[in-house]
A and B are shown apart, each in its own frame.
Chain A
Amino acid sequence: MRPGRAGTGPTGGAAAGHHGAATAVRTVPRAPGAGPPGLDPRTKIVLVVVCSAAVMGSGGLRFVPAVLVLGTALAVWERSWGRAAGLPLAAAAMWLLGWVVPSWWPHPVTAAMAIACAYLIRFAAAIGVGMHLVATTSPTRLAAGLRAWRVPRPVSVTLAVMLRFFPVVAAESASVLDAMRLRGLVGARALIRHPVRSVERFTVPMIAASLRATEDLSASAILRGLGSPRTPTAMDPPRFGPPDLVLAAAVAVLAAGALWLPGPLA
């Protein structure tokens, strides 16, 4: 986080602290300046909603390849190589399991698998676009974008705070899982033999640690005016720019292609 770019929003930079969670916070690669010039946060939100509506609606399989291409391109653009490789691989695996395998081995099991894959591949497509929003939007920019839309303050502030807390809670739960793994408590066997106890062993320390870690953060956010009735101004106000235009053109081309080209999945 670079405080200079982060604007004046109350949820901006990391909580300065000697707290254990602060180290986890600092390693999160969500600096607003990192990577290429980003899209406007509002564009990303509209994109996610449009893609979800297209893919999950009736006749959605037609749009799945286009949305997958879009998600992969966005991952490449933000240089998130893991997602850029993982998304097509996951989709290809689902295509193999759900379309290729059942076509030369008709069997009740493969037919059920085909249905599951037809459902999951839509999820994969929607996740690809959604992760771009989550990974590249700083809490401040999200709050500024929602404010520009006149979203009710409770919703916009809560969403921005959630985005801020997410890495903290994820880091805490990862460390609880690590501790469980060290004691040999993770795995399908333990889960099947003592399901409720496994849940308890993971959930209770994870919630306690997360609450403790976020306490400092919320105190600092409130100190910096989180609950104040005044509307904050943004140092880096959201503006639609050339990247948004490029994206709109790309979406138009992909949508046209999805509508007129024969779909490989449908």
Chain B
Amino acid sequence: MPETTPPMTPAGPQARTPFRVHFSARDLVSVAIFAVIYFVVVFAIAMLGVVSPLVMLLTLPLSVLAGGIPYMLFLTRVRHAGMTTLFGVVLGLLNMMVGHPWQAALVMVAVSLAGELVLGAGRYRSGRAAIWACTVFSGWFIGPWVPFFTNRDEYLRSPAMEGMGEGYTRAFEQVVTGPAVLAMIAVALVCGFLGALLGTRLLRRHFRKAGLA
């Protein structure tokens, strides 16, 4: 299957000024719908893992993967600048309402802006750019862990950790540093890339057939 060259919908009549930031009512509604769908998909799949910590190891990457499906469908409706950034802003605010740290909202806006640049490089018409934008966007999954890494000492100095002794704390401290952060970012990006490919395949297999893409 030629999964790397997905033809997006051909450029419509309004294809003249993809770099002008102007939102029609339909654009705003699209962003709102897909932000809610994205949120519910990611949340529902992450919640499936609550049954046991072992399942959680599976469901967290899986929710990154699943997020690619609504996001790729959303990107088929993005025809000009600003929409992905708006998506990141409103989704970041929504996540904050359900307890995500405020640092995560900033991360989400940052990766949305980066995705905007990637899409802009493809003039908002390129399917390949959409896949990379989706990959970049999935970097937001690192956001909820930011306070954990910035306040590392506070977590490691809990009474429970002190009960384990100095050596254990030091070993833990060595694990929860640079390499761990890089590994998490890498896992998020790889899962995001696979999610983008999955989304592209499902677009072709289901949504285009149903007239939704």
Contacts and interface: CB of A to CB of B under 8 A. Distances in A.
A173 B40 contact: yes
A110 B33 CA distance: 41
B183 interface: no
Mostly, the B contact residues are helix
Given A111-B168, A206-B41, A127 B160 contact: no
A162 B94 contact: yes
Contacts of B82: 154
B142 interface: no
Contacts of B45: 199, 202
B164 A204 contact: no
B44 interface: yes
A236 interface: no
B59 A191 contact: yes
Contacts of A114: 158-161
Nearest to A225: B25
B102 to A, nearest CB: 5
Contacts of B161: 111, 114-115
Contact of B207 (A98, A196, A208): A208
B28 A227 contact: yes
A103 B163 contact: yes
B35 interface: yes
A59 interface: yes
Nearest to B62: A195
B102 A200 contact: no
Given A48-B96, A155-B89, A204-B202, A226 B29 contact: yes
A158 B158 contact: no
Nearest to B22: A154
Nearest to B90: A158
A207 interface: yes
Interface string B86-118: 100110011011111111000000000000000
B142 to A, nearest CB: 14
Interface string A169-197: 11001000100000000001001100110
Contacts of A59: 154
Contacts of B150: 58
Interface in B45-70: 45, 48, 51-52, 55, 58-59, 62, 65-66, 69-70
Given A52-B101, A196-B198, A161 B28 contact: yes
Contacts of A75: none
Interface residues of A, number: 68
A49 B207 contact: no
Contact of B69 (A48, A158, A177, A204): A204
Please report whether the interface of chain A is mostly helix, strand, loop or mixed according to DSSP: helix
Given A115-B155, A169-B40, A188-B52, A103 B160 contact: yes
Nearest to B103: A56
B31 interface: yes
Interface residues of B, number: 63
Max count, chain A CB within 10 A of own CB: residue among B52, B70, B160: B160
A218 B36 CA distance: 14
A218 to B, nearest CB: 4
A154 B86 contact: yes
Interface stretch (A34-42, A117-125, A241-249): A117-125
B158 A115 contact: yes
B151 interface: yes
Interface in A86-142: 98-99, 102-103, 106, 108, 110-111, 113-115, 118-119, 122-127, 130-131, 133-134
Interface of B: 23-26, 28-29, 31-33, 35-37, 40-41, 44-45, 48, 51-52, 55, 58-59, 62, 65-66, 69-70, 73, 82, 86, 89-90, 93-94, 96-103, 147-148, 150-151, 154-156, 158-161, 163-164, 168, 172, 198, 202, 206-207, 210, 212
21 contacts: A48-B96, A49-B96, A56-B102, A57-B151, A58-B154, A123-B100, A127-B98, A131-B98, A154-B23, A154-B28, A161-B28, A162-B35, A169-B36, A188-B48, A196-B65, A202-B44, A202-B66, A207-B37, A208-B212, A227-B24, A227-B25
Given A48-B97, A169-B36, A204-B202, 8 more contacts: A48-B96, A52-B101, A56-B103, A103-B159, A108-B164, A111-B164, A134-B97, A199-B66
